[in-house]
Each structure stands twice: as C-alpha cells, then as structure tokens.
Structure 1
Amino acid sequence: MKILLLITPSEDIVEKFRLSLKDEYIVLTAYSFEQGSDLIRPDQINLIAIDITISESDKIKSWFARHRNIQDIMWLGIVSSDISEEELGKYSSIFHEIICTPISRNRLKIAIKNIQERLDILSENKHLKLLSIAYTEKERDTESVIRLSPGPLEKAVPLFRTFTASLDLDKLIDLFLDAVTDVVGVSRISFLLYNKEDDVYRVKASRGIHPDISSRIYLTPDSGMILWLSTRGRILRRDKVEGDVVSKGILIRAFREMEVLQSVVGIPIMYEGKLLCILNLDRKITSEPYSSMELEKLFILSNYFGKAIQDIYKYNIICNQKEYTQKILERMGTGVITVNEKEEIIIFNPKAEEILKEKAADIKGRPVEVLPEPITRLIRETIRDKKAYNKHEVISEEDNLYVEVDTYGLYDISGLLIGGVILLEDISAREELSREKKKGENLQLLNELVGRMAHELRNPLVAVRTFTQLMKDRYSDPEFQDFFFSTVTGEVEKLNSLIEKLIAFAHPIEYKFDIVDLGEVLDNSLESILRAVKTSNIQLIKNYTPGIFKIRADNKQIYKAFSYILQNSFNAMQSGGTLTMNVESVLKDATIKISVKDTGRGIPPEDFKKVFDPFYTTPEKGIGLGLPLSQKIIEEHGGKVSVSSVFNHGTTLTILLPIAAQTEEEV
C-alpha cells in the first residue's frame, strides 16, 4: 500500500482523502508545513498533497523549493474554487495535478489516477535506464566502463507477468530468484519467508548456499535483522555503513545474522505495514558494489513480488474454504441445492443426489425444471416471490418423493437477491413408519369394531331369537302376540338404525341441498326423540322460534344430525334433568350458533378426547356412532361441532352453521 502525505488544516479534507483512498493509500496528515517537513521520507512517501490555503503564496513557493528536488514524489495541489486563472497557472507549474474545493470523491480519484499514470511512466523510464546505462566504478589502473547487456530487460518483463499469472508459490519464488540472479549477477541469494505456524522467518529458497546450511537457518521476530527491517522498512546494507551506526545493538545483531546468511544486502518485502519476507543478496560475482539505482529497482520489484505472494495466500485461503465447504456439503445428512438468480442449479450435493435419484453432473448448470415439480415450485416461489419455507413437507406418490423442505433466498452485500437455497430432509423412513403404524392402528380399529359390532348386534338378536323360540308354544296367546310384535319390531329397528349409521359413517353421503327452516328441523328432531324416550322427568327449555333462521341443508341429513345430538343428551339424563336449546346469530361470521346443554353426569376427563371416536362406548349409549356421524354431516354442511363438559354437572354441544337467509328480525 502506498503512502500519501496530506498537508492541510481542514479536518473535512482529511476525512475526504481517507474515505476515498482507504484501499490504495495510507494517508499521513500534517497541519502545517513544519509538521510536513518532519514527516517527509523520500524512500517511503509516494505522493504529497498540499492545501495552498494553509499559508501565503510566497511561503508556499519557498517551502516547495526546498523539497521540490525529491525524486519519485508526485505533488497534488488543493486550491479554492474561486482562484484566479493567473494564480491557477502559477500553481499548475508547481504541482503535477490540481484539484479544487469542495473535494468530491470522484474528482479526487480521477486526480490520483492521473498522478499514478505519471508515476508508472516515470518508473518504467527509470527501469529502462537501470538496465541500459553505463556504470562508472572505482578505477584501478585506468578508468573502466561496464555496461549492462539488454538481456536482463527481456527477463524482467515476463517476470512481472508471472507475478499475476502464477499461483504456485514455490515455482514463483524459484522464478523470482533465478531472474534476480541473472539480472544482478549475484553470487549467493536467499529468500526468507514468514512461517505463521512457527512464528519464525525460514529460508524458503536459495542459490549458492549449501542446503545443509540454509535448512537450519531461521530468524525470530525479535532478531536484530527482523526488528530493523520491520521498523525501518528500508534496505539494509552491510557493505556500505556510514558513521557509527555499527555500534548500535540491533544493527550489530542484524549484521551478524547477515553474515550467517552470507548476504551483504537485505531487502524487506512489506505488505500492509508488516514484514512478509526478506530477499538477501551476497556480493556480485564481479565484486562490484550495488548501485542505488539497482537496489531501488530491486526494492520495487520485490514488493510487487510480495503482493503476488499475498495474493497466492488469499487464493489458497479461498481454495481451502471452498474445499472445506465442499467436504461439509459432501458429508451432510441433508440434501443441499443452490440456484442462481437465473434459476440455474449451481450446487447439488451427494445427499440431494440420493434423495432425488439424480446425478450432480446431469443436474448442475441446468434450469430448475429438471427437478420434480413440487421442488421446482418451491424454488421458484423462493426466487420470484421471496417466500421462505420452514419444515414444509412435500409428499408425492407419483415422484416417490417424501421430503421435508426448508428454503431461503441468498442476497449480496447490497441486499440484491442473487439466488436461493433449498434443504431437503429425507422423511421416507418416517413416512413408511407412519404408514405401518396407521396400518396397525386400522387393523386394531377393525378388530375393535368387529368386537363391538358383534356385541351390539347380539343383544337385539338374542331378544328376537328368544321370542321366536317361544312363538311355537304361545303363538295363540294374544298378550304374547302384542308383546312379541312390539319387542321384535323395536329390536329390528335398533339393528336397522345401527346399520344405517355404519353405512353413513363409512361411505360418502349424497346430499340434496335446499333452504330449510332451522327451527322446524330442531322441533322435528326433538319430537322424534321424545316419542322414543322412556323417562318423563326431563324439563325442556327452548330459546328459539321457527321461521327465523334459514340454512342451506339436506333436510333429511341435518334432521339426523340433530337427532343424534339430542339422543346423546337424553341418554346422559336417564334419571332426569334439564335440556336447554339456544339459537342465536353471529353476525361477524355470518353463522348461526346452536347450543344443546344437558345436566347429565358429564364426560369424565379421561374420556373427553374420545367423544367423537366412533368406537367410544358407554353403558348408556352403547357404540358411539351418533356424535361422530353428526360431526361428519354438520362439517359437510360447512359447519363445526364442539363440546364442553364439567364432570357431574353436564355437557354442552355447540354447533355453528352458515346463515342462508333471514326472514324476521334477529333474536
């Protein structure tokens, strides 16, 4: 990352620079020219931006003159929008680029881009000069001139391309060291790379150093060489020492470590302010010293190389994450399918293959239509309608599909839908178990039905058989004839009623709907029950009047339904009690509410959930087909039946039916 020095007293300008350039530059700030002078480091700073409103024009030019000769630094001027053309012309001759306040992010990026293009051109020019100019070194007997051949230039250019094209770290390092060795003509070279696991810098590759030596060399973060290069970020030279710096402890340690590495130059390769690796160079084969131009170019080249290494690290992290995710998907017990915004299948894991009996190779990249229709419909609703499903069961006998489905959309950082995910849980085993359980329950119910039916049929048949056996001896007895006729007829009616209930309960009922008077239906049902009931100590309370409420119903079937309900209430009050019948309208639901309340013994708590069970029996009513059949008829009329009961205090049955029409005011 490059470094930009911004000299301005404006916090607003500082904030604009930092937000606009946070991905490209480290922005150092100075609020005066004096602070700016202290922060200028020619070998670190790439760009200096100056706010000319900070001082008078003459003072700016004077300060600028002192620092203008610094090489490889570009200058950006920040001027007021109302500056005169004359003044603007003067500053244009000083700065490489001018930007006016107020500063916008877009204009700032354009100005920086223009400056960067100039820097790149200067860098290329400098690179060409490094590889083509003649070096003049110390003369021994006579002045000698040594020139670099054009060969190194041809090797350096493809090297730059390699940095962005290769993702093989070992191969990349070998190419880099070979290129540097050829271009510079160095006798020994080594490359130290930071090992995060061991927290040390180890020799990753070398040339001219015996493998037994290089394999044993490593530097810890607190070693002299690492400390100096990390804090300074500059090239460390052992062949060119000025002043008494050698006496400094860290530098002495660093030089000793360089002796072990057989190097005279250590070039730090930084990334985001951290020391990533070190390029170590021994003396040239020709024994010539390194020129500043050579080392500068190597420093730039090495840091490009450091960025390439970091890119490889990031690429490897992505690959590892992808592989890790792929292994998770492969081992998941849930089927996973992902689709993009075009509804094309992207991921189809092995469990999805197993559940849907399709191969990923045949499915991936194809539209969702290739999946079973129920799955396709859920995916489309997730993508098109942004609808999510949770624990949604999909059962298709045709596709032999028994799955539990979860779906959700995938969104990018801006909230835009980019696809969807569907999770499939195989519930075929659960469904098979449920079917087996239901089959067993049905068999148990059948056995129970047969047993109870045998009991219900036996009682009337015993009476009929007894009287037929006596008929031969007492046929001429008039009293016997009357008793025989009434008893046998009654028992046969019981058998017929039971069989009718069974047929109605087991088979679909054919309805003939018409508009009927609910009050008349209730009166007729009550009258039929009163004719058959044996007890007379039951008090009736009727809170309704015929002719008020009309319902759309099959008169015969709805009559049966209320007859069964009333019969149930009378059976519960064989010792007497009060039967209350209420009818009222519920306007908000457009329904009629009918309640039938008795004061019988009530329903025991343990039997409350069984009242609509066709096989629920009591001593009073025998096999319990009446209430279940009533419930069936009423529900097929668009109504509902509910029950409430307090044990030993009575039971209330509540029926709701849709209103067809009203002829008088509501009561």
Structure 2
Amino acid sequence: MKALLLITDSPQQRTQFQNLPDETCTLFTAASHDEAMEFLHFTKIDIVVAAFDGRLAPAIPSFEQAKSFHPHCITIFVVPPVPEGVVSDEGEQPGCDFTLRRPYSREELIRTLDQAIEKQRMVEEIASLRHQNTTPPPSAAALQVSNDLSLARIGQILRDFTKAFSTNFDMQSTLDQFLDALSTFLRPSRMSILVRHPHQRIFEIKASRGLVEKVAEQIRLREDEGLARWLMTEARILHRNEAEQAVQGSAGVNVARDMQVLKSAISIPLMASGKLVGILNLGERITGGAYTEDELDIVFSLASQVAVGIQDIELYHAMQTQKIFTEKILRYMSNGLITIDTQEKIRMCNHRAAEIFSMTWAEVLNEDLRSLPSPLGDMLYETLHDGINYHKEEVMVTDKRLPLEVNTYQILDEQLKLVGGAMVFQDMSSYKQLQEERRRANQLDFLNKVAGRMAHEIKNPLVSIRTFIDLMDEHYEEADFRQQFSTVVRQDIHTINVLTDKLVGFAGQIAYHFEHGCVNSILGAIERVLCAETQESSVDFVDTYVPIQSNGGEDKPITLECCEGLPKVQFDAEQLHKALMYIIVFLTQVSESQESIRIVSYQDASLQGDVCISLTGSQVKVEPEEMERLFDPFASEHNTLVDVGPCVSQKIIEEHGGQLEVDYKKNRDLVFVMSLPPAE
C-alpha cells in the first residue's frame, strides 16, 4: 500500500483526505514543514501532497526535501482558488508532478491520486530494472552460518519467550514480551509486529521497537498485495536484498517498498493453520552484522508459536465479546429464561426469571430442577426426558398465584445429541390485568348502550298506553274502545316483557339446569305450541315470545323434519327452547316469502358426531354484508332490541358447549345451524 504524506494547516483539507477509502493509501498528516521532515526521515513516502491556504512558500522546501530523501516520490500541489480579478496564477506554482485546483470534487481527488500512484509505480519499476542490471545477485555466503549458539543462550531465549504466554490473554503484553525476548536474543535496531485486522483486509502494527510512534500508528499493509501477499504465498523468511534484486515486476517493487517503509531487513511470516496471522519485521543489527541461519530458524519456530497464540487470544476475546453481548441480552430481555443440563441442574437463570420468582439468580444457579415452582419444574422435566415441547402454554404458579406463558424446548449439540433443556416464560399479570380492565370498559360501554336503547324501546309502547289512559274517562262506556284498549295495552306490555327477557338473557348470568335427552322432544314441543297458538290467535303464542307474523299479517307455520335415533345431548330444556324460538322469530321477521320455516335435526357425519339443528328461512331481507354483524346487536344504528334474539341464542348454545353458525345462500335463504356435542 502506498504511503501518502499530506502537508497542510487546513482542517478542511485534512478531512477530505481522511475520508478517502482505506485501500487507496496509508495517510500521514503534517501541519508544518518541520513535522513533515520527521516522516520523511523515518519512513518511506511515495506521494507528497502540499495544501496551504494562499501560501506558496511552505510547499517549495517540502517538495525539495521529499525528492532528496525519496527520489522516486511523486509530488502534488493543491492550488488555492484564483482570487477575484486575477486571470491565472500558474506561474506562481512550485515545481511538482501534479496540480489540483480548489475547489475540487471527491472524484477529481481520487482520479489525481490514481494517476500519481501509477506514475510512482512506473518510476520504481524502471529504477529497479536499472539496479538489477548494475548489481550482481546476492551470494549464498551473504548469510553467515554460526555455531556459537550455546545452550545458555538458547535457554535464555526460551525463558524470555515463555513470559509472552503468561499474560492472561493480553495481546499487547504478549507481543511486547515477545519483542523483548527477540531484542535480547538478536539485538536488532528496529522491530515490529503487524497483525491482521479482525474486520478489514489489512495488517497494522500492534507492537514495535525503534519506530516513531506516530509513524507506526499510520502504517497499513493490504493483505492482497506487496509484502503480505508474498509472505502468505511463500510462507518463508524474506530478506530485503532478495526483494530488491531477485523479485521481478511491479509486485516485487511493492514488496521492497513495504519493507523499506517498515525499515525491515528480515520479514518473517507468522503462520497458523495455513493462514498468515501476522508479520514479524527485523531491522539491521545494531552491530551491523548479518543474522545467522540458526538464529533465523529459531526465530521462525518461535514466531509460529506466537501466531498460534495470537489466534487463540483473538478467539478468546471474540468469545468474551459474544459472552458479554449474550449476557446483556439475557439481562435486559423482558422474558425469563432457565436452562438445565442432562443432570437436571439449573445452568442458566437470567435476571428477569429471578425477579419473577422473587429470588436472586445465585440462589437458583446450579440447584436441582425440583427447586423451581410447580408446575414449571414438571414441564421442564417432561421436555428434557420425554421430548414434550410446550408452546405458549398458560400456567398458574401455584404458590404465587402468578399467571405465566411458557415455552420449552430441548437443546441439542452439533451432533444432535441432547445436552439440556430450556424454558422461556413471560409474566402475564399485566396482560391479564389489562384484559380485565378492557372487559370492564366493554361492559360499561355495553351497559350505556343498553340503557339508551332500552329507554328508546320502552318509550314506544308506553306512548300508546298513555294515550289510551288519557282517553279512558271519555270513551270508557264504548265497548269497542275497551276491547281495543285491552288488545293494544296487552300487546305493548307483552313487547316490554319480551325485551326485558332478552336483555336479561344477553347481559346477565343464566342459571342452567342440565339434563340428558333428545333434541327432538324440544322441537316437538315447539311445533305443538306454534300450531296451537296460530290456530287460536295471531296475537302471541307464548308469554315470552312475540307473535310469529309476517309483514302481510299472515301466520308462518314451520316444517319440522326430525331424524330418528339421534344420540342424547345435555341441555336445559327451557333455555334451549328459548334459543330456538328466538331464531324462529328472527327468521319470521326478516323473511319476505310465504314459505314455512324449515327445521331439520340430524347428526353430523364428522368424527365428533355432533347433533345439529338447522333452521332455514326463505327470501330474507338480510344483505350478505350484514352477516358479520348479525350477532352484534349494536353494529347498526337501525337495529332494535328485538334483534338481540340471535345474540342470546348464540350465548345459550355456546354455554351448552355447542356452536351457532349462520350461512347466507345465493337464493337468499338464511340458514342457522345449531350443533351440540353428544352426552358422554
């Protein structure tokens, strides 16, 4: 990766260069010429950029010094904006390779840098080829072979090396101890260790000796080019003279340049599991001598062990990070969580679970499964041993009267072997309380509606009664008046009585007296009542029901079809009688046809074998879109309290353990189907 030195006193210019992509180059910044000299002295710079607000003088010595220290570097001058009234100031620009006029866009900056990088690469390749033609290749004698490695010296390096692995997974201390051991063993002038970034494809210096700190902090090597790529491919020790003389092409130039930036004479790969974990760089010896093969062989072996240690430390810290992340999730999650192992010991209990149980997690951890409140322990035991998984199971904790929603499941390892069980549960107290408050609010709203509708429904018959009472003194002697008065008042009082009876059945608690019997007996009784009443009078047929009468005033008989051999069901004869009559009355009122209401009893062919009663009315006035509101007496403002009949019937049938369903046919037939389970 190319090294770029930006010399500027403008925070805006510094920000623009810092926002460049990381893979473009390694960025060093200096605010003055003196600060720039520190970088030029201690590291190899490929590109120098000078950007000053309206001042040309500081750029000239910076460019001259850069060329003297690094002849192959490329210079770029950022030209200030042209002042008003000035046509051009190109004559005042310093000698440089590229210029960039302010203001400039991000695309223009990247394009100029790409051109500078390409030119610098070509200059280095040409210089490398010329150097190869004039310099003989290195001889094998350049590496000294020494036999002066005494046991005492080897023992000392091993003792120093073991200190690096007693730092309790501290990466920085491990690398520092390793460099200290090498410093004692080899006495190099400079050393550095680069480690691969955990999230980016770059290597950065984690520990160094003899390098300027602010220079070392900025050095980055890309893993897919230069020194890192060569070491990853070859997996062996690289000497700088080998990189400068024996390696051909632009790739070789990049390798040599990276070693020059790091001030490295020897680069050693830190390999673990076939991967390049880091790079160890050794500068020249302080004595000026060469490293021996034995010394480098020992260092390579130690470096491989350090690479394994680096991997283990990174894995440890990754696990610690994941552990902390998981613990925070468990701490702040709204549900309780408990896990057990195959020995039925509690291995995890988060804070919410302990809070629900009014205990601390330390009191629960490592305790036996039986320490959990009933029935939670039994449920978790069944999940662990019998594989019974509970999903959103509502239970009541016995000793605390606490409602919980529980989920359980088995825990399996990668080989699908059972290693434990887990339970996730939620305190439903607030939810139950909210439901109760909502139920009470609905009841209050319902009572308000009932009171208003009741007053309206009762007012109509009372008006007729009051009218006749006002006229009684004047017309009492008239026989026709007395007969009409008796009929109207009796009918209006009957209407009030029916409304009251329906409302009591709909809003109140019904006391049932169940018995076992056949529904055909109820249907027969209804048929007898209807036939007797319609023959005697069209006014009413039973005290609790309104007259079955069409809009035209003609009575509507029923057609009854009873299936023989039906199983017995459990019912309250009086209430079931009411439920059927309410449906018959409703069908009579909404039917426009002169056809009779058809009632059929039969047994359902399903596995449950429910006993069913269907009631069918023809040519009804109910529209299909009104079907969903049929069992809601207050869904429409045009409904009257007489319409609560189907609602009361539905309530009675459901409290018998059955269902009441309605179906609208294409021929405008309306079919109610009552289903009751057979008695055990």
* TM-score (normalised: structure 2): 0.59
Change (3 A) 1:159 1:500: same
SS at match of 1:453: helix
1:590 alignment partner AA: G
Question: Is residue 560 from structure 1 mapped to residue 558 from structure 2 by the alignment?
Answer: no
**Aligned counterpart, 2:587:** 569
The reply to whether residue 449 of structure 1 matches residue 436 of structure 2 is no
**Change in 2 beyond 3 A, CA 1:475/1:619:** farther
Aligned AA for 1:205? S
Per the alignment, residue 346 of structure 2 pairs with 344
Question: Aligned pair in 2 of structure 1 residues 410, 637: CA closer, same or farther (>3 Å)?
Answer: same
Distance 1:543 1:195 in 2: 87
- Structure 2 residue identity aligned to 1:169: M
CA RMSD after TM alignment: 5.1
Report the alpha carbon displacement of residue 511 of structure 1 after superposing the two structures with TM: 0.8
Q: 1:613: how far off?
A: 3.3
Q: 1:576 to 1:175 in 2, by over 3 A?
A: same
Is residue 643 of structure 2 the alignment partner of residue 640 of structure 1? Answer: no
- Confirm whether residue 248 of structure 1 aligns to residue 246 of structure 2: yes
Verify the 8 A CA contact 2:389 2:409 in the aligned structure 1: yes
The aligned counterpart of 2:208 is: 205
2:179 corresponding residue in structure 1 = 177
Structure-1 residue corresponding to 2:513: 511
Aligned to 1:163, the other structure's residue is in SS state coil
| Inter-partner Cα distance in structure 2 for 1:574 and 1:253 | 97
Letter in 1 for 2:452: G
CA offsets 1:380-402 (integer angstroms, 9 cap, x no match): 66555555566777899997978
- Counterparts of 1:215-234 in structure 2 under 5 Å? 230-234=232-236
Find the residue that maps to 1:624 and give its secondary structure. helix
Partner of residue 168, structure 1: 170
CA contact (8 A) 2:514 2:570 kept: no
Structure 1 residue 309 displacement after superposition? 1.9
**Preserved CA contact (<8 Å) 1:642 1:655:** yes
Q: Within 1, Cα distance between the matches of 2:219 and 2:571?
A: 98
Distance 1:359 1:604, change over 3 A: farther
In structure 2, the partner of 1:529 is 530
User: Per-residue deviation at 1:654?
Assistant: 1.9
Give 1:346's aligned amino acid.
M
Task: Specify whether residues 584 and 618 from structure 1 end up closer, same or farther in structure 2 by C-alpha distance, changes over 3 A only.
Answer: farther
Cα deviation digits, residues 298-332 of structure 1 (max 9, x gap): 33222212221222222233333444555666677
CA–CA distance in structure 2, aligned partners of residues 630 and 651 of structure 1: 16
Equivalence for 1:624? 643
**Residue type of the alignment partner of 2:182:** V
Q: From the superposition, tell whether residues 164 and 231 of structure 1 become closer, same or farther in structure 2 (CA, over 3 Å).
A: farther
Counterpart amino acid of residue 603 in structure 1: V
Code of the aligned partner of 1:655: M
Q: CA deviation at 1:525?
A: 1.2
Q: Which has the higher strand share?
A: 1
Q: Which amino acid aligns with 2:575?
A: Q
Q: Which AA in structure 1 matches 2:310?
A: I
The equivalent of 2:299 in structure 1 is: 298
The more displaced of 421-430 and 166-175 is: 421-430
In 1, distance between residues paired with 2:223 and 2:676? 85
Distance 1:619 1:260 in 2: 90
> How many angstroms does 1:277 deviate by?
1.6
Q: 1:439 to 1:295 in 2, by over 3 A?
A: same
Separation (CA, whole Å) in 2 of partners of 1:378 and 1:489: 63
State how far apart, in whole Å, the 2-side matches of 1:192 and 1:599 are: 93
Aligned with 1:595 (options 614, 620, 631): 614
Partner of 1:649: helix, strand, or coil?
coil
How far apart, CA to CA, are the structure 1 residues paired with 2:638 and 2:267? 104
SS in 2 for 1:626: helix
* CA distance in structure 1 between the aligned counterparts of 2:634 and 2:243, rounded to whole angstroms: 104
> Aligned partners of 2:567 and 2:590: how far apart in 1?
28
Instruction: Give the count of matched residue pairs.
Output: 510
Q: Is the 8 A contact 1:339 1:420 kept in 2?
A: yes
Identity percentage of aligned residues: 27
CA distance in 1, matches of 2:188, 2:425: 64
Give 1:346 deviation, angstroms.
Answer: 2.6
Q: d(CA) in 2 for partners of 1:531 and 1:194?
A: 102
Which letter does structure 2 place at the counterpart of 1:171? S
Deviation at 1:513, TM superposition (A): 0.9
C-alpha distance 256-470 of structure 1, shift in aligned 2 (>3 A) = closer
Structure 1 contact 345–368 (Cα < 8 Å) conserved: no
Counterpart of 1:159 (choices 158, 161, 164) is: 161
Q: CA deviation at 1:219?
A: 6.7
Q: Is the 8 A contact 1:234 1:267 kept in 2?
A: yes
Which runs of structure 2 are paired with 1:73-84 in the superposition (5 Å)? none
Give the aligned partner of residue 541 of structure 1. 559
Structure 1: gaps of 5 or more residues: 1-135, 139-144, 662-667
Give the C-alpha shift of residue 606 in structure 1. 3.8
| Pair 222,398 (structure 1): closer, same or farther in 2 beyond 3 Å | closer
Residue 509 of structure 1 deviates from its aligned partner by 1.9
Change (3 A) 1:408 1:479: same
Aligned pair partner of 2:600 in 576, 579, 582: 582
Secondary structure of the corresponding residue to residue 608 of structure 1: helix
Separation in 1 of the partners of 2:531 and 2:485? 23
TM-score normalized with structure 1 length = 0.60
Q: What corresponds to 2:38 in structure 1?
A: none
After superposition, where does 1:462-541 map in structure 2 within 5 Å? 462-468=463-469, 487-505=488-506, 506-516=508-518, 518-533=519-534, 534=538, 535-536=553-554, 538=556, 540-541=558-559
Q: C-alpha separation between the residues in 1 aligned to 2:220 and 2:657?
A: 86
Residue 544 of structure 1 aligns to which amino acid in structure 2?
A: C
Tell me by how many angstroms 1:414 deviates.
0.9
- Residue 413 of structure 1 corresponds to 414
CA contact (8 A) 2:188 2:282 kept: no
Separation (CA, whole Å) in 1 of partners of 2:469 and 2:292: 135
The amino acid of 2:449's aligned partner reads E
Question: Does the residue aligned with 2:652 lie in a helix, a strand or coil?
Answer: helix
Deviation at 1:586, TM superposition (A): 3.0
Range 642-651 or range 212-221, more displaced: 212-221
- Residues 1:657 and 2:676 are matched in the alignment: yes
Change (3 A) 1:495 1:467: same
SS in 2 for 1:613: coil
| Shift in alpha-carbon separation, 1:396–1:610, aligned structure 2, 3 A | farther
1:278 maps to which of 274, 280, 288 = 280
SS of aligned partner of 1:455:
helix
- Name whichever of 617-626 and 500-509 sits farther off: 617-626
* 2:91 matched residue in structure 1: none
CA contact (8 A) 2:373 2:397 kept: no
Q: What is the alpha-carbon distance in structure 2 between the residues aligned to residue 200 and residue 237 of structure 1? A: 19
Q: After the TM superposition, which residues 371-450 of structure 1 pair with which residues of structure 2 at under 5 Å, given as runs?
A: 383=384, 386=387, 409-419=410-420, 438-450=439-451
Corresponding residue for residue 61 of structure 2: none
Q: Tell me how far apart the structure 1 counterparts of residues 258 and 651 of structure 2 sit (CA, whole Å).
A: 95
CA separation in 2, counterparts of 1:272 and 1:445?
74
Q: Deviations over 1:337-375 (max 9, x none)?
A: 35243462536377x789888776776666777888687
Question: What residue identity is the alignment partner of 2:208?
Answer: A
How far apart, in 1, do the equivalents of 2:663 and 2:412 lie? 51
Matched residue, 1:192: 193
Change (3 A) 1:455 1:621: closer
Q: Which residue pairs with 1:310 in the alignment? A: 311
Residues 537-567 of structure 1 deviation map (CA, whole Å, 9 limit, x = unaligned): 5354333378877544333333333233323
Partner letter of residue 309 of structure 1?
I
| Structure 2: segments with no counterpart, 5+ residues | 1-143, 539-552
Task: Give 1:172 shift.
Answer: 1.4
Contact 2:390 2:406 in 1 (8 A): yes
